[in-house]
Amino acid sequence: MPLPAAPSTLSNWRLAALGLLLAAIIISPFILLRAAGKDAENAWLAVSHTQQVEVTVQALAAHMRNLENGALSMAAGVDNDAMRARVSESRERILPLLRELQELTRDNPEQQLRIGGLQTHVLLRKAQADRVIDQGTGATVADIDEMVARYPIHELITEIVGAEQELLVERRERAERVAARARTASWAAMAAQLLLLGGLLTYVARQIAHRLTAESSAMKASARASVVLDTVREPIVAIDHEQRVVIYNAAFAELFGVTEDVRGQPLAGIGDGAWRDERMLRRLADVLGRGRELWDFEQVQVTADGVERTMMINARRMPLPDSEDSVALVTASDISVQKASDRQIRELNRQLEGKVEQVSDVNRELEAFSYSVSHDLRAPLRHIAGFGDKLGRHLGEDADDKTRHYIEVMVSSAKRMSALIDDLLVYSRLGRSALRLQTVDMQSLVAETRAMLDSNNAAENPGHSIEWRIAPLPVVVGDENMLRQVWLNLLGNAVKYSQGSEPARIEVEYRRGDDDAHHFTVRDNGAGFDMKYAGKLFGVFQRLHAPSEFPGTGVGLASVRRVLTRHGGRIEAEGEPGKGATFHFTLPGAGDLPANQEKKP
């Protein structure tokens, strides 16, 4: 694809075309009219030439008659000075007229022949007339008769004149045709001039319209640029090589107290010396002088409101569209608030480091407490449960019912206390340990959990049948061990609380939300719960059923909520006594992961 011509090239081309058009308007009609005038002039010259030949022939005939009449008069005895003067004049004119006729008819061979014959007769008659004049009254009748009748010229003259008359008619007709063509050419030239002039005027009008449109567009663009420049709330100023102000916006004028036009004034004098910093002025001089750029130069300035502000100054060279010069475009950003925020953030970070150290101390204490719980408390519980069993076996048949009841309560309470400690330790670890994020196949995780629950249910409750309905599940990003704990608690509760509902139906559903989050649902047809106690479901040690009815520690759902919260998700429940329970929980998409995470390699 060809590149468009440069504006200067187009302008030169248009000027050349305009010059050629003007030359065509002026020169072409001149050439046409000159050619037509030349043809007409030649035609009328030919007509004049014919008339001149005829006049010359008639003059020659007149002089011959004059000479012969003088000769006859002198032969008759009439002789005077006037007569002789006329005869002398005619005698002198005859030969020049003959030569003139020969010159005039040089372009006509036929007339040349006639003129030659006429010349012979004229010269002979002239010689005879001269003899009669010389003889005077002594001339005989034979001499006079020979002069008049022997060399006739009338017929030759008539023939010459007739030929010239025919030429005159032809040449006049040709002259008229040429004149008509000249008039036509004149009108054609005028029409061509008008057309060319009209085209020129159209072109000029179009160029003027384009120029006006371009000027209007330029004015509008300049106005828009000014509006945009004044709309920007960041102070902007452009300076020339002498660091004088070229343009500036309203934000600059407002911040530095400019109340009148300061274009052409030095930048250092603006804003009561706010810009009078030698180091900054040298940097700005380098922008235009060496083509460098000034980035993030911080300077403290006192602005028009008397406030000391920290300004971040940037500058770069910018060519001007209406000249070959360049300016330095300077922008000044008020970062005082940012600097104060940075100081505050540094202070908060310092305080946070102290808090983190305190939290670390607390975590270490919790670790120590967890270690103590997991070791120091379990040993007495194991002793109580172990010695209770031994006591029961030791008493054997000697123990009464009350004794055996006491021993069973003691042993079962110790075991329940051990289970509570285990669940509390799991709950504590879920809150302290870092997330190890990886891709987790929820379908496989649910399948593993279901297989384990089916195996335990077959061993502990062989008469309890379960119908599983599990929808296709996605692959998510999360901590696999923690999410396994979620499914183990939710599906384990569904199996546990559906005892007595035969057959038990447990459903797992999934959908992708509009917010790109993963929505899961676990539903059963078991014992259910009263919705007025729904707020207690996810608390530690909160139970809605007696331990004798359904065993458990009351920590499982609290652990589920803690895992989901750490993953950036949430959980809620709904149910009705005797009609089952439904748990809805969500996990965020991959782009909304929590910050406290640790990626697993």
Q: Give per-residue pLDDT as tens, 375-427.
A: 566 667 676 777 777 777 777 777 787 777 777 777 766 666 666 666 566 65
pLDDT for the residue 521: 92
Percent of the chain residues topping a pLDDT of 70: 74
Do residues 412 and 442 both lie within one domain?
Answer: no
The domain boundary residue, chosen from 412, 432, 452: 432
Q: 298-303: which pairs have CB atoms within 8 A and are 24 or more residues apart?
A: 298/335, 301/271, 301/274, 301/275, 301/332, 302/272, 302/274, 303/255, 303/256, 303/257, 303/271, 303/274
Please indicate, yes or no, whether residues 27 and 175 belong to a single structural domain of this protein.
Answer: yes
Of 407, 427, 406, 413, which Cα lies nearest the Cα of 381?
413
Higher pLDDT, residue 473 or 21 = 473
What's residue 443's pLDDT? 92
> Measured between alpha carbons, how far is residue 375 from residues 231, 380, 382, 540 in Å?
71, 9, 11, 22
- Give the range with max mean pLDDT: 123-127, 508-512, 560-564: 508-512
Say if 340 falls within a structural domain. Answer: no
Q: What is the pLDDT of residue 246?
A: 86
Average pLDDT over residues 569-576: 85
Q: What is the mean pLDDT of the chain?
A: 76
Domain annotation covers residue 344: no
- Structural domain includes residue 244: yes
Convert 555-591 to b/e letters by CB count within 10 Å (16 or more is b). Answer: bbbbbbbbbbebbbbebebebeeeebbbbebbbbeee
User: What's the confidence (pLDDT) of residue 352?
Assistant: 84
- Between 21 and 200, the more confident residue is 200
Among 174, 195, 216, where does a domain finish?
195
Amino acid making up residue 311: M
Choice among 237-241, 330-334, 575-579 with the minimum mean pLDDT: 575-579
Give the pLDDT confidence of 510-539 residue by residue, as tens digits: 998 887 889 999 998 887 776 776 666 665
Residue 56 CB coordination number (10 Å): 21
- Residue 244 DSSP class: B
Q: Are 140 and 128 in contact (CB under 8 A)?
A: no
The answer, yes or no, to whether residue 110 has pLDDT greater than 70, is: yes
For residue 59, is pLDDT > 90? Answer: no
* Helix (H) or strand (E) segment spanning residue 556: helix 556-566
The reply to whether 535 and 547 lie within a common domain is: yes
Q: Domain check: are 30 and 46 in the same one?
A: yes
Range 456-478 average pLDDT: 84
Least confident piece of the model among 16-20, 124-128, 468-472: 16-20
* Mean pLDDT, range 71-98, rounded to an integer: 78
Give one DSSP letter per residue of 21-37, joined into a string. HHHHHHHHHHHHHHHHH
Q: Are residues 237 and 169 in the same domain?
A: no
Q: Beta 518-524 vs 581-587: how paired, if at all?
A: antiparallel
pLDDT confidence of residue 578: 76
Q: Is the residue at 129 inside a domain?
A: yes
For tokens 């920290």, what's the residue?
310
CATH number at residue 448: 3.30.565.10
- Both 301 and 381 in one domain: the answer is no
CA angle 530, 535, 541 (to 5 degrees): 95
- Could you tell me the CATH number of the domain that includes residue 278? 3.30.450.20
At residue 471, the pLDDT reads 92
User: Does residue 263 sit in helix, strand or coil?
Assistant: coil
Residue 80 has pLDDT above 90, yes or no: no
**Is residue 63 one of the residues assigned to a domain?**
yes
- 598, 478 Cβ separation under 8 angstroms: no
Confidence label for 495 from pLDDT (cuts 50, 70 and 90): confident
The answer to whether residue 349 is domain-embedded is: no
Give the tens place of pLDDT for each residue, 293-314: 888 888 888 888 888 888 888 9
Judge contact between 225 and 246, C-beta under 8 A: no
Is residue 446 assigned to a domain? yes
Assess whether 397 and 508 both reside in one domain: no
Instruction: Answer yes or no: do 110 and 30 share one domain.
Output: yes
CA pair distance 150, 352, nearest whole angstrom: 157
Helix, strand counts (H, E) of the chain = 13, 13
Same domain, 477 and 554: yes
Q: Which of 372, 402, 432 is the last residue of a domain?
A: 432
pLDDT of residue 601: 39
Provide the edge-to-edge strand list for the sheet that holds 597-599: 475-479, 435-441, 597-599
Looking at the structure, do residues 421 and 549 belong to the same domain, yes or no?
A: no
Degrees (nearest 5) of the Cα angle 97, 100, 104? 135
Q: Tell me, what amino acid is at 79? A: D
Q: Is the pLDDT of residue 573 over 80?
A: yes
The mean pLDDT of 244-270, rounded to a whole number, is 86
Helix runs in 232-319, H state only = 250-255, 278-289
Could you list the residue range(s) of the whole structural domain that residue 463 is in? 433-599
262 to each of 68, 81, 129, 329, 334, how far by Cα in Å?
A: 112, 111, 114, 16, 22
334 within 8 A of 304, measured Cβ to Cβ: no
Looking at the fold, whether 517 and 595 belong to one and the same domain comes out as yes
Alpha carbon distance 91, 85 (integer Å): 10
Q: How many domains does the chain have?
A: 4
Residue 346 belongs to a domain: no
Place of tokens 């002793």: 383
Burial string for 421-460 (b: 16+ CB within 10 Å, else e) reads bebbeebbebeeeebebeebebbebbeebbeebeeebeee
Residue 540 has pLDDT above 80, yes or no: no
Q: Is 595 exposed, middle or buried (0-12, 13-18, 19+ CB in 10 A)?
A: exposed
Is it the case that residue 11 has pLDDT exceeding 70? no
Full-model pTM: 0.40
pLDDT confidence of residue 146: 66
Span 73-90, average pLDDT: 77
Q: Provide mean pLDDT across the span 58-70.
A: 77
**Residues 371 and 299 reside in one and the same domain:** no
